[in-house]
Amino acid sequence: MSERAPDLTVDLAIIGGGINGCGIARDAVGRGYSVWLCEQGDLGGATSSSSTKLLHGGLRYLEHYEFRLVREALIEREVLWGIAPQIVRPLRFILPHRKGMRPAWMLRLGLFLYDHLGGRKLLPGTSRVNLAHGPYGEGLNADLRSGFEYSDCWVEDNRLTILNAQDAVERGADIRVRTRCTAAQPLPGGGWRVVARDLETGQEEVIHARMVINAGGPWANAVARDLLRRPPKGSVRQVQGSHIVVPRLYAHDRCFIFQNSDGRIVFTIPYEDRYTLIGTTDRDYPGDPASVSASDAEIAYLCALVGQYFKRSITPKDVVWSYSGVRPLYDDGSSEAQKATRDYVLELDQSQNAPVLSVFGGKITTFRRLAESALERIEATLGHAQGEPAGWTGRQPLPGGDFAPQDFDREVRKLLSDRAFLSGADAIRLVRFYGTRATVMLGDARSRADLGRDFGAGLSEREVDYMCRTEWARTAEDILFRRSKLGLRLSPAQIAALEDHLQKGVRPRMTA
């Protein structure tokens, strides 16, 4: 039987469509490489949509002397805010202090380093805060009378993955979702023959690639060992992080970072206007990453921990939503999950003239720098291509992000001026989702009726179709709990109606 001709010949075949895979795809195609990427589920559907949604240096990582990682992450906060101001915004965090915690001098020293390691330009620095008087002590226990306030940033994590994928496709990359890589063999003349199957249609595709990038996240070990037959030197340590969402604990816009006696920290973050996000946990997870969910024990742990700081007790009955993800940390031999490094490790195997670059670890804040490090190894292996210079991804905006970080409110006013039928809340949400492309999503609509059916919470038929057409969305979960969090506001009947619409309608596929 003759060998089937490849459907596509590319420089890079990327396995895994989380933030690392999509970030590498964007950087690589921009630098002139031809790129094909497959993701077995939804883009950013696993770890990359289950984070605490923070772009942060990692204040507690200073205790583990990870100064390079912290500095890199601190710099990246403002870089990412600059290229994606629609989905990134600054936050102020309050670190309360009480007797028995880390001494105040240690906290001041840590925050001084935090302010100065990363070349902060736009974010305000640290200050003392009085919790005994004023709004920020609202609801806190009486012994929490003072603390420190510092800056980090919030990001819509799944949308960050989607925007990187969109930009990669618009620059020429091929991206396949719900598509599993089923076989990979080195070619006699060098490179790889990769077979992928569309899990929705069953159709197979053959790709010849000069190099394979293993960005499988929690599945990276299995991809390297079982699919590519290249057992890695390093390995992934699966660490589960769970979060809960409860009705709003306080009215102000500050976040809290609480220190726990077991060495862990927990955040409380204002979330989707009406709620508070609480997280996260850190525990080793030996199971299938696709089956992870917040356990009863984790939910109870988070409720009890937060209850130590607020006058109002929190119980599992208060939880309106929970989510959980598996962090694919690099296994550095740490005895405790919360002490395992959040740094990334790239492992290059060039045997048989069929190079593989495997990605282990990392965090959402430093995904772009991880991609740059990956491109250094790609260029050293394949040679330079004709395209953008190194570092371009930190200068050119992601789709819809072509405005200055300080101009978010002005973009909202522009949208309201252009589409008078929108409410102020509608305009804020649409600019937060789509930035300057909100008008592209709205198309020629000049009234609410032009947007078609309203599924609830302002989610229109036109917006749903836009997400399917340009953001790879397929299911109600993709739309309501990953691309957005509007599922918190919809009733079960409204969610079922959206699912019915998606099953009956034609769902266009994203193409270049």
pLDDT in tens, 273-321: 999 999 999 899 999 999 999 999 999 999 999 999 999 999 999 999 9
Q: Supply 495's token pair.
A: 């969610």
Radius of gyration of the chain (CA): 23
Q: What is the pLDDT of residue 89?
A: 97
What confidence category does residue 507 fall into, taking pLDDT thresholds of 50, 70 and 90? Answer: low
What confidence category does residue 194 fall into, taking pLDDT thresholds of 50, 70 and 90? Answer: very high
Q: What are phi and psi of 210, to 5 degrees?
A: -70, -25
Asked if 153 contacts 90 with a C-beta cutoff of 8 angstroms, the reply is yes
Q: Supply 112's token pair.
A: 């001084």
Give the Å distances, CA to CA, from 101 to 56, 61, 97, 144, 254: 22, 17, 7, 11, 21
**Structure-model confidence comparison of residues 2 and 45, the more confident one:** 45
Q: For 102-249, list the strands marked E by DSSP.
A: 127-130, 146-155, 174-176, 179-186, 192-198, 204-214, 236-247
Pinpoint the alpha helices (H) of 245-366: 296-307
Nearest in space to 313 (alpha carbons), one of 323, 325, 304, 301:
304
What confidence category does residue 67 fall into, taking pLDDT thresholds of 50, 70 and 90? Answer: confident
**What DSSP string describes 44-72?**
T-SGGGSS--EE---GGGGGGT-HHHHHH
Judged against a pLDDT cut of 70, whether residue 205 lies above it is answered with yes
Give the Å distances, CA to CA, from 498 to 433, 458, 464: 19, 13, 9
Q: What is the pLDDT of residue 417?
A: 97
Q: What is the pLDDT of residue 334?
A: 62
- What average pLDDT score do residues 407-414 get? 98
Q: Supply 443's token pair.
A: 């198309």
Q: Which amino acid is at 316?
A: P
Q: Supply 212's token pair.
A: 């394979």
Tell me how far apart the alpha carbons of residues 417 and 263 are, in angstroms, rounded to a whole number: 50
Judged against a pLDDT cut of 90, whether residue 6 lies above it is answered with no
- What average pLDDT score do residues 53-72 get? 85
| Ranges 24-38, 91-105, 397-411, 497-511: which has the least confidence | 497-511
- What average pLDDT score do residues 10-30 get? 98
% of residues, the chain, pLDDT over 70: 95
Tell me how far apart the alpha carbons of residues 220 and 235 are, in angstroms, rounded to a whole number: 8
Query: Which helix (H) or strand (E) segment is 502 a member of?
Result: helix 492-504
Q: What is the pLDDT of residue 2?
A: 46
Number of C-beta neighbours around residue 443 at 10 A? 12
| Ranges 107-116, 159-168, 453-462, 488-497: which has the least confidence | 107-116
What confidence category does residue 337 fall into, taking pLDDT thresholds of 50, 70 and 90? Answer: low
Tell me how far apart the alpha carbons of residues 136 and 150 are, in angstroms, rounded to a whole number: 14
Judged against a pLDDT cut of 60, whether residue 512 lies above it is answered with no
Q: Tokens 């260029």: give the residue.
A: 379
Tell me how far apart the alpha carbons of residues 39 and 413 are, in angstroms, rounded to a whole number: 37
Burial 291-327 (b: 16+ CB within 10 A, else e): ebebbeebbebbbebbeebbeeebeeebbebbbbbbb
| Ranges 287-301, 418-432, 492-506: which has the least confidence | 492-506
Q: Supply 9's token pair.
A: 């010949």
Bond before 280 cis per omega within 30 degrees: yes
Judged against a pLDDT cut of 50, whether residue 59 lies above it is answered with yes
| Ranges 100-114, 167-181, 401-415, 478-492: which has the least confidence | 100-114
Q: How many CA atoms lie within 13 A of 361 on its CB side?
A: 17
- What average pLDDT score do residues 89-113 get? 86
Q: What is the pLDDT of residue 74?
A: 94
Q: What is the pLDDT of residue 66?
A: 81
% of residues, the chain, pLDDT over 90: 81
Number of C-beta neighbours around residue 202 at 10 A? 7
**What DSSP string describes 118-137?**
TT-SSS---EEEESSSSGGG
Number of C-beta neighbours around residue 449 at 10 A? 9
Judged against a pLDDT cut of 70, whether residue 430 lies above it is answered with yes
Q: Tokens 């190099």: give the residue.
A: 211
Long-range (24+ apart) CB contacts under 8 A made by 178-181 are 178/39, 178/40, 178/41, 178/42, 178/474, 179/38, 179/39, 179/40, 179/205, 180/38, 180/40, 181/13, 181/15, 181/38, 181/40, 181/223, 181/227
Polymer length of the chain: 512
Burial 115-135 (b: 16+ CB within 10 A, else e): bebbebeebeebeebebeeee
Average pLDDT of the chain, as a whole number:
93
Q: Tokens 């200068």: give the residue.
A: 395
**What DSSP string describes 425-459?**
HHHHHHHHHHGGGHHHHHTT--SGGGG--B-STT-
Give the Å distances, CA to CA, from 192 to 40, 189, 285: 19, 9, 32
**Structure-model confidence comparison of residues 333 and 145, the more confident one:** 145
Give the Å distances, CA to CA, from 91 to 242, 255, 271: 21, 7, 12
Question: How, if at all, do strands 236-247 and 275-279 pair?
Answer: antiparallel
- What average pLDDT score do residues 398-418 get? 98
Number of C-beta neighbours around residue 173 at 10 A? 25
Judged against a pLDDT cut of 60, whether residue 506 lies above it is answered with no
Q: What is the pLDDT of residue 511?
A: 45
pLDDT digits (tens, 9 = 90+) for 131-157: 998 899 988 999 999 999 999 999 999
Q: Supply 177's token pair.
A: 């979702």
Asked if 385 contacts 239 with a C-beta cutoff of 8 angstroms, the reply is no
pLDDT digits (tens, 9 = 90+) for 221-269: 999 999 999 998 878 889 999 999 999 999 999 999 998 877 788 999 9
- The C-alpha angle with vertex 237 and arms to 231 and 241, in degrees rounded to 5, equals 145
